Structure 1
Amino acid sequence: MAPRHAQSPARKSLTRRGKAVSGLALTTLVGTALWAWPASGDDHNSHPDAKNGTPTTTSRPDATAPEAAPAARPIPGLSDAARKQIPAGTRQVLVVTGQGVNSTSSAVVLYTRAKGSQNWRPGPTWAAHNAAHGWTKDHRYGDLRSPEGVYALTDAGGRLAAPRGTRLPYDHNNSFVAHGTGVEGEPLAGAFDYVIAINYNRVPGSSPLDARRPLGASKGGGVWLHVDHDGPTQGCVSLKPAVMKELLRTLDPAQHPLIVMGPPGH
């Protein structure tokens, strides 16, 4: 969950930004290679036998068998259960893999695929922090563990204005302020400059500041991607400012982005 912050006033803005995309977004839009198939038709020629008129066949010298379809390239390191939760229409998956169940450090990779393709392409690997006590499949308020699972990414916001090209709905709001210090005493200034809500125990389509908790307050909430403050979080995943801006420019609601997060094999 995010560190404690002020309650939200009325949302100041909720905008969809321009259509410009970054280099990473262009990777998302590049289709997989088209495979060439031989023209349809018989693979053999027929002619009557000279003696008895019985049709017989001979292979054409230039006949070739069709090329095999390319094998699917699934996202590596995910459990079968996680893969089954990725809808056919999703073409952006942010994979957060902790170093271990109790580790505070993670590696983050954005995988993309072309429409209709089963071949997932990885982007660069980014370093991140997760919760101070690692991961859990049963997240509770205050347990200092990040919730494992597959969640949609539908909404964003921050104290700073949205980077040019942001596609997710973005709440530019001065209430995105982290008070106090982090788990290890580090300052939290700027941690909420950019935020992407993880749809764990929240209402999709609302500001990340929305305090509604459909599963109840005891299950925690306010689990975000946000700017790294050089220390573990209370439940969120934190990345460097440049990475957060890159994700905001790249994640596209039309491609139904998801996050899959947890320890190895999640």
Structure 2
Amino acid sequence: MSVRKGAPALLSAGTLCTALLLTGCASTAPSAPAGAPTSAPAAVGDSRPEGAPPRAAAGAGGPGEPTGSVSSAPVPAPRLPGLGPVTHGLVPDGTTQALVVTGATADASTSTATLYARDAGGRWTVAAGPWAAHNALRGWTDDHVAGDLRSPIGVFRLGDAGGRLPDPGARLPYDQDEEFAISGTGFLGESLEGSFDHVIAIDYNRVPGRTPLDKERPLGAGKGGGVWIHVDHGGPTHACVALEREDLRELLRALDPSREPVVVMGPAPVLAR
């Protein structure tokens, strides 16, 4: 029986029994990942601290000072560490929480996850982590398809959570359901049991506002789905991101739907563009 807490926030959204789970997430064939990256223009503005005196206008030097040498060009707002202007431009304007998952290369199956928070002045600082993580067996792709054993690259909203075990204190809507149970072994022969005790749905090819177990794939089944952040079973996934159990529980308690959280994921060279 499913118990869903809270109203869907931001975006959201199947039955990932060993079959579905073994599709997008930790096991065999990935199920359809969630939505598409959201885009937002990179912000620009004045980076001076609040209360600082205004900049002198061009050509308005003080006594004995040269005139006409002050630039009035806008100063870009701070970006998330490791992100270039193209990737950072995909982060929604209203987002003030971002989980950045970075792999060293396009083929790496291990990565690092860090949760950042943005303050009122636009500065991004570390809120939790960094944490060791696993991603898909063959690394990353910007054109994910079911069964390619690669995690999708992009910026995706985080709006729904769930798991086999009770809610550990998440602020996202949380669906506790026995259908999150999984068995079998991973790519390294490790047990998959408990991998879906807690999960956060990544909004790649899914309907926001629904349980992570939902099977609807707006982009079609061929584009994969069921891409989650789940408990690390000690090896690569099919498409998901996996964190150690306590790290994932900490992330679940930290994510706040009112802050429009997203995950930014991919290999470092791509995210730096």
Change (3 A) 1:161 1:34: farther
Q: Name the CA distance, whole Å, in 1 between partners of 2:233 and 2:260.
A: 28
Q: Contact 1:183 / 1:234 at 8 angstroms: preserved in 2? A: no
CA offset at residue 35 of structure 1? 2.6
The alignment partner of 1:175 has SS state of: helix
Q: Contact 1:141 / 1:217 at 8 angstroms: preserved in 2? A: yes
Specify the alignment match of 1:142 in structure 2: 147
Q: For 2:238, which of 227, 234, 239 is the aligned residue?
A: 234
Specify the alignment match of 2:212 in structure 1: 208
After TM superposition, the structure 1 stretch with the greater mean CA deviation from structure 2, 197-206 or 70-79, is: 70-79
Specify the alignment match of 1:89 in structure 2: 94
Q: For 1:247, which of 245, 251, 257 is the aligned residue?
A: 251
Give the TM-score, by structure 2 length.
0.73
Q: Contact 1:196 / 1:226 at 8 angstroms: preserved in 2? A: yes
Specify the alignment match of 2:43 in structure 1: none
Instruction: Count residues with an aligned counterpart.
Output: 214
Q: Name the CA distance, whole Å, in 1 between partners of 2:52 and 2:155.
A: 37
Superposition CA RMSD, Å: 2.4
Unaligned runs of 5+ in 2: 8-47, 55-62, 64-73
Paired letter, 2:162 = G
Q: For 1:13, which of 3, 6, 16 is the aligned residue?
A: 3
Specify the alignment match of 2:119 in structure 1: 114
- Deviation beyond 6 Å, 4+ runs, structure 1: none
CA offset at residue 70 of structure 1? 9.4
Specify the alignment match of 2:25 in structure 1: none
* Matched ranges for 1:191-202 at <5 A: 191-202=195-206
* Matched ranges for 1:1-266 at <5 A: 12-16=2-6, 35-37=50-52, 72-115=77-120, 117-123=121-127, 124-164=129-169, 166-265=170-269, 266=271
Q: Name the CA distance, whole Å, in 2 between partners of 1:150 and 1:204.
A: 15
Paired letter, 1:110 = L
Deviations 1:170-190 (A, max 9, x none): 001111012311122210011
Paired letter, 2:216 = R
* Greater Rg by CA: 1
The alignment partner of 1:14 has SS state of: strand
Paired letter, 2:79 = P
Give the TM-score, by structure 1 length.
0.75
Change (3 A) 1:38 1:100: closer
The alignment partner of 1:160 has SS state of: coil
Q: Name the CA distance, whole Å, in 2 between partners of 1:82 and 1:152.
A: 14
Change (3 A) 1:70 1:114: farther
Deviations 1:108-142 (A, max 9, x none): 11110124x32111233100000000000111111
